[in-house]
Amino acid sequence: MPDLRGISNFCARYSLVGLLFMVMVAMMLTYQPFYIGGIENVESATRNAYGAIATFLLTFILSVVYLVQDALKGGSDQGGFDSASSRRRSGNDYDGVPTNMMMAGGADTTNYDLPLSVEQASFT
């Protein structure tokens, strides 16, 4: 099953960028259509630009509504991944793997100093 939160997040961002671009195109077609060459019917192009704005706006609103509902119901987890993606193929949790190997299993945590040759080296 696809990750609906990720798809909705992508659609919201994509539609926001498309919305901003189409607002710019619609304003150009409305106020200065002579700067956009190759358009035979300016009224039709302007109407289509406003239709694209409405489509991008609807997509953005639907995506945000889904994201808000998912956040309010406490979606799968806060990281944006489903629980299966945080597991290995064998079924073991990655949460049990220590992130700091120096501290794992009571290992020696002594801080080792650099050799004198490394401290005196000059890097250019």
Alpha helices in the chain (DSSP H): 4-31, 42-72, 116-119
User: Distance between CA 13 and CA 18 in Å, rounded?
Assistant: 9
Of 74 and 89, the structure prediction assigns the larger pLDDT to 74
**Which amino acid, residue 95?**
D
Mean pLDDT (whole number) for 73-78: 64
pLDDT given at position 88: 45
Q: What is the pLDDT of residues 9-18, one digit of tens each?
A: 999 999 999 9
97, two tokens: 């793997």
3-state secondary structure of 6: helix
What letter would DSSP give residue 44?
A: H
What letter would DSSP give residue 80?
A: S
pLDDT given at position 122: 72
Cβ–Cβ < 8 Å for 5, 80: yes
Give the C-alpha distances (Å, rounded to integers) separating 87 from 1, 57, 99.
16, 37, 15
pLDDT over threshold 60, residue 79: no
- Give residue 82's pLDDT band: very low, low, confident or very high (50, 70, 90): very low
- The pTM for the full model equals 0.58
